[in-house]
Amino acid sequence: MNNIPVGILGASGYAGRELCALVAAHPQLTLAFATADRRRGETVRVPAPLGVAGRPTDVTFVATDDAPLGDAALVFSALPHGASAEWSRRAHEAGAKVVDLSSDLRPGHLTSELLATLGARRSALALTSAGVSAERRAPTDEESSIPYGLTELNREAVRAAEVVANPGCYPTAILVALAPLARAGLLATGATVVADAASGVTGAGNSPREDLLFGEVTGSFRAYGAGNVHRHLPEMRATLGALGADVDLIFTPHLLPVARGILATCTVPVTAAPADALAVWRDAYAGEPFVEVVDALPSLADVQHRNVVRLTVLPVKGVRTPTLQVFAAIDNLMKGAAGQAVQNANLMLGLDETAGLPR
Amino acid sequence: MNNIPVGILGASGYAGRELCALVAAHPQLTLAFATADRRRGETVRVPAPLGVAGRPTDVTFVATDDAPLGDAALVFSALPHGASAEWSRRAHEAGAKVVDLSSDLRPGHLTSELLATLGARRSALALTSAGVSAERRAPTDEESSIPYGLTELNREAVRAAEVVANPGCYPTAILVALAPLARAGLLATGATVVADAASGVTGAGNSPREDLLFGEVTGSFRAYGAGNVHRHLPEMRATLGALGADVDLIFTPHLLPVARGILATCTVPVTAAPADALAVWRDAYAGEPFVEVVDALPSLADVQHRNVVRLTVLPVKGVRTPTLQVFAAIDNLMKGAAGQAVQNANLMLGLDETAGLPR
Amino acid sequence: MNNIPVGILGASGYAGRELCALVAAHPQLTLAFATADRRRGETVRVPAPLGVAGRPTDVTFVATDDAPLGDAALVFSALPHGASAEWSRRAHEAGAKVVDLSSDLRPGHLTSELLATLGARRSALALTSAGVSAERRAPTDEESSIPYGLTELNREAVRAAEVVANPGCYPTAILVALAPLARAGLLATGATVVADAASGVTGAGNSPREDLLFGEVTGSFRAYGAGNVHRHLPEMRATLGALGADVDLIFTPHLLPVARGILATCTVPVTAAPADALAVWRDAYAGEPFVEVVDALPSLADVQHRNVVRLTVLPVKGVRTPTLQVFAAIDNLMKGAAGQAVQNANLMLGLDETAGLPR
Amino acid sequence: MNNIPVGILGASGYAGRELCALVAAHPQLTLAFATADRRRGETVRVPAPLGVAGRPTDVTFVATDDAPLGDAALVFSALPHGASAEWSRRAHEAGAKVVDLSSDLRPGHLTSELLATLGARRSALALTSAGVSAERRAPTDEESSIPYGLTELNREAVRAAEVVANPGCYPTAILVALAPLARAGLLATGATVVADAASGVTGAGNSPREDLLFGEVTGSFRAYGAGNVHRHLPEMRATLGALGADVDLIFTPHLLPVARGILATCTVPVTAAPADALAVWRDAYAGEPFVEVVDALPSLADVQHRNVVRLTVLPVKGVRTPTLQVFAAIDNLMKGAAGQAVQNANLMLGLDETAGLPR
């Protein structure tokens, strides 16, 4: 199956442009439209994504209002939070499947009103019960409504879904890091999990902001959104809860003088230290094409322009409570946004999950 | 008192050069000698340190063996760990006071053999009993031996000392962040304190190493020395213990694509959340010339080239255990090394503590 | 003379903030007002400029319309090009001396209408006839009108002026590099001078622009304003002409992934190669407090946060036309903007030229 | 033809690693050996080159002395200048074709002694007489000896060669920029061409050097090798001469705080300004797969990780001599080293010129 038409809403932001590049170079997808209200009428040359063979393509933006939603088999929405849900609804109504990259449809954000208008029931998180290595089976009605598209945790529900909520960038790194512990029952009730994470600047989008100018960011480093109040917490809490963990997550994001990439350093007290900690993750992600469980501490350079989570685990020495540290790196625009969106779209369209994605 | 001669051992590294700059611009110190074995005979122009009025000075390095130790009223040793203690001993023997910037004389590193050769008794940490706002009093014999020169925690002992162990860069940020909680008795026994910190590259020195080349560091970010095994842990544990805290500290350093600066993000469970958390730090550091307790999250840009610790505190929302986060930023070469060394030297020489230091 | 009140129009941009910092730390100036229309009412903490002893100051912005122009002995205008001339006129009318940092009053930009409204005659460039090491003498009427404030070329006219046009950042580096050759008559008529220069991003101001976001600038490099059409050309041509040179200048700016600093590489055919090229510059700038003629190739790191031009000269080998290369580095916000503005203000107010300036 | 074995001498440097990546992902090449004396025995994971589909490969370095030269159909030598020629000779003697990335075999460097030992006659530059759009024809004996592998200028000679001298990175950008003018006879005899170019740090290799540490390079910019004495001048002069141009080239390299990429800004007086300057380049490079003649000023970001020269041309305004500026950007490790080496190897092995190369 080739030349499947897909559309992109909000194509001029960083995630939107990466989606354009991935779709243009995808062996089986073709770009039906790309919208960008402020830049409508403009034609931009989109290079092939690094890590994928392909040639540059010219993309001409149309206004979102003018997008021929019905022409697309699947629509990606990279519109801003708040505006995205309504356009996902319209695209779905027009007959397209939808991957929504905003937070609008994610656990903890989706309102019952919105669910009603979307005409869909939805579980907070539609996880396959037997975990990531579960046999493939048909998802339940509930699961197939609007699953949380962290693909590795929720593959079968994504495959069957009409609409998928693509995860946030930080949650992708942190949940892939923590899920095996949750599944293995190694997280004590009430334990405090500290996830300090740092992101490149593209995570904040390309709308002009003084605090994101080169002169403000270069040579510096700071936390932001501190106090455990970041927009990404609800989806992380919901997912950990769905995985059976009853922990207190403390998540603190930081801004790096780097264009792209996220590193999450997760400090996790465990009920018992596994003899071979890394084996827990190796087993959990055996066969996963986009998870790299490695011996060395991952760096951003290891994952930039690649649709992977790269992680390692170390036992913490010199403490009374058995504790592990999980270090997970992703490219925030790839596995943290556009790449994972294509990964989900591949499943939803019956394609090979890895098609058109750089590893 | 002016033109006090001081010497610098190991003057060609980053900390050593910063010391040269500070000494050259200092209103009351004069540079007696600066050693650099591999670059002996070389003359370098040392700019005035940013933040201090002054003019560039030419410094000619001599071999460490040729340093006229006895000419100096005080010697700074910025020699490598392992080599520094012996030279501090020789400088002391030659009649100079000593500020040793290596880890050799810090709590957890100093051996009894070395103590014996240094001819000094020494407490693991010679803290004034009444804390940072204590009245000035004569230190005990014990305190005056080789105090740990985190000036704000140990001012009177430093003032009276012949030899001071200058703290590590990370411990300076983290201990200034945590000390008020320890003193206030807010740290529960056995609690786990997570200190994730990130440093600019000058923290690793200027000896050529492939992993510190520009092409390897730019655009990336990674943890290092992970698993709670970093060289700076003993001095932090000893100091927290001396302050009365019985906690498990988990410290993880990260390497930033930045020249200078450290940000420490400390997540600390407390026995009870203070109504006004920031007030604890404001009170603890009232009147301190080099501690800035602020409302906003500190960034590296706020502290670069300045001899300060800048910090803020936030209560952590949405968790069952009352928890605070302390964010502390320093310049690793200033308050984290050379600046603090001069701050200590000022006290040891009877000068104004702030003389010649950029704020 | 102390506590001379000065005002700053357009104080929230990069140059304006640097001016706030310099004025706040200046031993004889005091800040009467600082305007910033979009941020009026906001209070910002301005750190002491690096390189100058001083403490942070709080500055509260007022609207430009509300600025008590008459309260200031001197007003700096760092308003945008186009808007600045009219406010300089008003400030002058209100009795203040004026240093205008915009291009509005510079050679090639000032219109006769504006000159009329400013009530001033003005030479294209009011140079002292005997060059930079000229004896101090009273300037002519013509010279005292609105001199071009490249201080080293025009000191006496600046000293006597009511209104000064502060030079652009690129022209400061390039003209200080080329002036000695022009004065020495070494530039052949019709010769082509190639000035390729690269600037840090603060040169473009801090108004939010997508192309100046960190993610767009980091890791890249490009020319801009190419084709010999940059706004700074008229003032460079006029100044070279006034210095007696009849050359064709080709100036091409480039954007560096750096916060601050300009390096200009000037390739200059000469009528005859001096035996000791560097001596021409050493002689021309002997005694100049803010020009460093050095042996080594200057880097941005050499000059950042300092009010200097640092330059060197090399003969070009292997070519038929005798040719020199002059390499000149400045900090675009210091000697290229705010520092030079204070240098000019010092002269206009009868203060020591170097007061309050980092070297 | 698949699975053609190739070897890499000097595989642990930046160019060598890029070669490993390109060979590992190449559809028709297979890695026979990779040498790295200091790191022999070490296994590194080489990621697929960005821009080429592929998976990471493990490469184990052997000592250069242990390389089975005869097993390879073609050997790339990325050994240091000075050492490379002798190993190229040995590889050739062992029966392999050779692409030598060092300067040893390039015009102006190759000695007659070396030529003798290489058993080959060699022209200074073996250009096809009719230029880049020449009909394919058999090269002369002379041409086939050791052509200068700037592929676009010398395709047929490369195709027939046993040994090719891969060009330097700067010359690649500058010669592709200037060649069409030379061929068109637009360069006046004795004219001065100014080529100011700036390179990312990987151009200097990955041997540890203090001046290339992150802390020394970040935030700065400087010229180096100034005075028109850089190692790359002989090959540029020889090539321009072979193209019929008798000009004086002034080449000045600069060091950027960037990992990879070169931008060359070439200012060129011409005998007559073409009505449509860009058309000269469009015509010269019509059909070239790796030259992009564009309207906009190229940036490093446009070319990083791609085997292309991207360039544009502008007429210079306001000067008496008709003058053009050519702006050319390349990735110094791709089109400037490893990519061009593979491009040449493809031709030498009878493969499609674009095989395995990112565009």
Min distance A50 CA to chain D CA atoms (Å)? 4
The 3-state DSSP class for residue A302 equals helix
The 3-state DSSP class for residue A291 equals strand
**DSSP code, position D337:** I
Tell me what the mean pLDDT of segment D226-250 comes to: 96
Q: Note whether B218 contacts D: Cβ–Cβ < 8 A.
A: yes
D128 has pLDDT over 80: no
What pLDDT does D359 receive? 77
Instruction: Give the rounded distance of the alpha carbon of D204 from its chain centre.
Output: 15
Homologous superfamily of domain range A169-332: Dihydrodipicolinate Reductase; domain 2 (3.30.360.10)
- Residue B118 in contact with residue B161, Cβ under 8 Å? no
Structure-block tokens of residue D144: 């086939």
Catalytic residue among D15, D32, D163, D169: D169
- Residue B219 in contact with residue D259, Cβ under 8 Å? yes
Tell me what the mean pLDDT of segment B292-306 comes to: 96
Q: Note whether A215 contacts D: Cβ–Cβ < 8 A.
A: no
Which residue of chain A has the CA closest to D27?
Answer: A53
Tell me how far apart the alpha carbons of residues D188 and D182 are, in angstroms, rounded to a whole number.
9
A140 has pLDDT over 60: no
Q: Note whether C260 contacts A: Cβ–Cβ < 8 A.
A: yes
How are strands ordered across the β-sheet holding C163-165?
C29-34, C4-9, C74-77, C97-100, C163-165
Measured between beta carbons, which residues in chain A are less than 8 angstroms from residue B198? 198, 221, 254
- Residue D328 in contact with residue D176, Cβ under 8 Å? yes
Tell me how far apart the alpha carbons of residues A206 and A208 are, in angstroms, rounded to a whole number.
6
Measured between beta carbons, which residues in chain A are less than 8 angstroms from residue C215? 14, 200-202, 206, 212, 259-260
What pLDDT does A55 receive? 73
CB distance C359–B50 less than 8 Å?
A: no
Q: Note whether A320 contacts B: Cβ–Cβ < 8 A.
A: yes
Which residue of chain D has the CA closest to A21?
Answer: D51
CB distance B201–D212 less than 8 Å?
A: no
List all chains that touch chain D, counting a touch as 3 or more CB pairs closer than 8 Å: A, B, C
Segment 159-188 of chain D within 8 Å of chain C by CB: none
| Average pLDDT, rounded, for chain B | 90
- Residue B266 in contact with residue B328, Cβ under 8 Å? yes
The amino acid at C37: D
Tell me how far apart the alpha carbons of residues B323 and B39 are, in angstroms, rounded to a whole number.
50
Q: Note whether C48 contacts B: Cβ–Cβ < 8 A.
A: yes
B121 has pLDDT over 60: no
pLDDT band of residue D56 (cuts 50, 70, 90) is confident
Catalytic residues of A: 169
Q: Note whether D209 contacts B: Cβ–Cβ < 8 A.
A: yes
C104 has pLDDT over 70: yes
As a three-state string, the secondary structure of B236-249 is HHHHHHHCCCCCEE
pLDDT band of residue B177 (cuts 50, 70, 90) is very high
Q: What are the helix (H) ranges across chain C?
A: 14-25, 84-93, 112-117, 151-160, 169-183, 214-217, 233-242, 277-284, 300-303, 339-348
The 3-state DSSP class for residue D143 equals coil
Q: Which of B53, B219, B306 sits opposite C219 (nearest CB)?
A: B219
In this predicted model, which residue has the larger pLDDT, A134 or D111? Answer: D111
Q: Pick from C18, C169, C201, C213 the residue to mutate for testing the A interface (most A CBs within 10 Å).
A: C213
B170 HSE (CA, 13 A, CB side): 28
Bridge-based pairing state of the strands B309-315 and B291-293: parallel
Measured between beta carbons, which residues in chain B are less than 8 angstroms from residue A269? 192
pLDDT tens sequence across C285-312:
999 999 999 999 999 999 999 999 999 9
Model confidence pTM above 0.90: yes
Tell me how far apart the alpha carbons of residues D101 and D165 are, in angstroms, rounded to a whole number.
6
Q: Look up tokens 């089975």; give the residue.
A: D68
DSSP lists the bridge partners of residue A184 as none
CATH class for the region spanning D4-167+336-348: alpha beta
Q: Which of C53, C55, C305 sits opposite B53 (nearest CB)?
A: C53
What pLDDT does C109 receive? 81
**DSSP code, position B139:** P
The 3-state DSSP class for residue C324 equals strand
Residue among D290, D266, D263, D249 nearest D153 (CA): D290
Q: DSSP of A179-227, one letter per residue?
A: HHHHHTT-SPTT-EEEEEEEE-GGGG-SS--GGGBHHHHTT--EE-STT
- Residue C126 in contact with residue C148, Cβ under 8 Å? yes
- Residue A67 in contact with residue A60, Cβ under 8 Å? no
pLDDT tens sequence across D192-220:
999 999 999 999 999 999 999 999 999 99
Q: Note whether A241 contacts B: Cβ–Cβ < 8 A.
A: no
CB distance D50–A53 less than 8 Å?
A: no
C122 has pLDDT over 90: no
Structure-block tokens of residue A119: 């005409």
Q: Which of B54-58, C37-41, D117-121 has the lowest mean pLDDT?
A: D117-121
What pLDDT does A284 receive? 98
Torsion of CA B13, B19, B20, B23, to 10 degrees: -170
Give how far Cα D219 sits from Cα of A111, A260, C199, Å: 47, 19, 11
Give how far Cα B346 sits from Cα of B1, B24, B155, C25, C214, Å: 11, 14, 11, 24, 41
Measured between beta carbons, which residues in chain C are less than 8 angstroms from residue B259? none
Measured between beta carbons, which residues in chain B are less than 8 angstroms from residue A318? 228-229, 233, 248
Measured between beta carbons, which residues in chain C are less than 8 angstroms from residue D269? 192
Structure-block tokens of residue D87: 């190993």
The 3-state DSSP class for residue C121 equals coil
CATH of region A4-166+336-348: 3.40.50.720
Bridge-based pairing state of the strands B43-46 and B57-60: antiparallel
Tell me what the mean pLDDT of segment B55-72 comes to: 93
The amino acid at C71: D
**DSSP code, position D214:** H
C205 has pLDDT over 80: yes
Structure-block tokens of residue C218: 């980091």
Catalytic residues of C: 169
CB distance C206–A213 less than 8 Å?
A: yes
CB distance A314–B265 less than 8 Å?
A: no
pLDDT tens sequence across A51-62:
666 777 899 999
A82 HSE (CA, 13 A, CB side): 2
> Which region holds residue B182: left if phi is over 0, alpha if psi is between -120 and 50, else beta?
alpha
Structure-block tokens of residue A170: 């930080």
The 3-state DSSP class for residue A290 equals coil
Tell me how far apart the alpha carbons of residues A39 and A60 are, in angstroms, rounded to a whole number.
9
pLDDT tens sequence across D18-42:
999 999 999 999 999 999 999 999 9
- Residue A273 in contact with residue A285, Cβ under 8 Å? no
Measured between beta carbons, which residues in chain B are less than 8 angstroms from residue A278? none
Q: What are the helix (H) ranges across D243-288?
A: 277-284
What are the residue ranges spanned by the domains of chain D?
4-167+336-348, 169-332
Tell me what the mean pLDDT of segment A101-121 comes to: 74
Torsion of CA A130, A133, A136, A140, to 10 degrees: 30
The 3-state DSSP class for residue B259 equals coil
List all chains that touch chain A, counting a touch as 3 or more CB pairs closer than 8 Å: B, C, D
Residue among C56, C9, C250, C124 nearest D193 (CA): C250
What pLDDT does B138 receive? 42
pLDDT band of residue B51 (cuts 50, 70, 90) is low
Catalytic residues of B: 169
Q: Give 3-state DSSP helix, strand, coil % of chain C, rounded to 5.
A: 30, 20, 50
ipTM attached to this prediction? 0.92
Measured between beta carbons, which residues in chain C are less than 8 angstroms from residue D316? 227-228, 250
How many residues are recorded in chain C? 359
* Longest Cα separation, chain B: 62
Tell me how far apart the alpha carbons of residues B221 and B256 are, in angstroms, rounded to a whole number.
6
How buried is C82 (Cβ within 10 angstroms: 0-12 exposed, 13-18 middle, 19+ buried)? exposed
| Average pLDDT, rounded, for chain D | 90
CB distance D218–B260 less than 8 Å?
A: no
**DSSP code, position D151:** H
Tell me what the mean pLDDT of segment B74-85 comes to: 96
End-to-end CA distance of chain B: 22
Residue among A45, A43, A60, A51 nearest A22 (CA): A51
A165 has pLDDT over 70: yes
Q: DSSP of C67-88, one letter per residue?
A: --GGG-SEEEE-PPTTTHHHHH
CB distance B300–A222 less than 8 Å?
A: yes
Q: Using alpha carbons only, how large is chain D's radius of gyration in Å? A: 19
Tell me how far apart the alpha carbons of residues A124 and A138 are, in angstroms, rounded to a whole number.
18
Measured between beta carbons, which residues in chain B are less than 8 angstroms from residue D215? 14, 200-202, 206, 212, 259-260
| Average pLDDT, rounded, for chain A | 90
CB distance D50–A358 less than 8 Å?
A: yes
CB distance B257–D214 less than 8 Å?
A: yes
CB distance B208–D206 less than 8 Å?
A: no
CB distance C259–A218 less than 8 Å?
A: yes
Min distance A241 CA to chain B CA atoms (Å)? 14
B77 has pLDDT over 90: yes
Q: Note whether A305 contacts D: Cβ–Cβ < 8 A.
A: yes
Sign of dihedral through CA atoms B282, B285, B290, B291?
negative
- Residue A338 in contact with residue A358, Cβ under 8 Å? no
Q: Note whether C233 contacts D: Cβ–Cβ < 8 A.
A: yes
Structure-block tokens of residue C274: 């001096």
Beta strands in A22-94 (DSSP E): 29-34, 43-46, 57-60, 74-77
